[in-house]
Amino acid sequence: MSASRKGLNPEFDAKLQLFEKKLAANGIKVVLTCGYRSTEEQNHLYAIGRTKPGKKVTNARGGSSWHNYGLAGDYAFVINGKVTWNGPWATFGKIARECGLEWGGDFKTILDRPHVQWTRGKTLAQMRQITQTKKVC
Ligand SMILES: [Zn+2]
């Protein structure tokens, strides 16, 4: 269930690879479960728990998630060969911060521990503008 790295910002991807290495050095094996997500996929997720059955998974509509810009990744742990979300999240978050990533476990609005992102101090509003004007970010 490993996700494709396609669509990830190359610099961000390099950071993720370093992050994964540091985790491995701490005996933590992870798998990327989600990287780039299109606006359509994001809108689909947003509908879950709202207009579609299920528990809410995101507060972000299409274009409002760093996944839509290839600047976010979601992880799960691999423990005894099994993918699990029960793992050492505190260490995961600490190492994410050390790698200059923002960790979803620090979010105030929705706790999203599998999630890391790299905003480089930009807001999503700025990202939307950059994308609209077709400038390379
Ligand atoms: Zn995420």
* Strand, helix or coil for residue 127: helix
124 CA → ligand 1 middle, Å: 14
* Strand, helix or coil for residue 33: strand
Q: Indicate the residue type of 126.
A: Q
26 CA → ligand 1 middle, Å: 23
pTM for the whole structure: 0.85
Q: What domains sit in the chain, N to C, each tagged with a CATH number?
A: 10-136 (3.30.1380.10)
In the chain, what percentage of residues exceed pLDDT 70?
Answer: 95
132 CA → ligand 1 middle, Å: 22
pLDDT exceeds 90 at position 93 = yes
Q: Angle at CA 41, nearest 5°, toward 93 and 12? A: 40
Backbone angles phi, psi at 29, to 5 degrees: -100, 130
pLDDT exceeds 90 at position 90 = yes
User: Which residues have CB atoms below 5 A from the ion given as ligand 1?
Assistant: 72, 74, 115
Tell me, what's the pLDDT at 133? 63
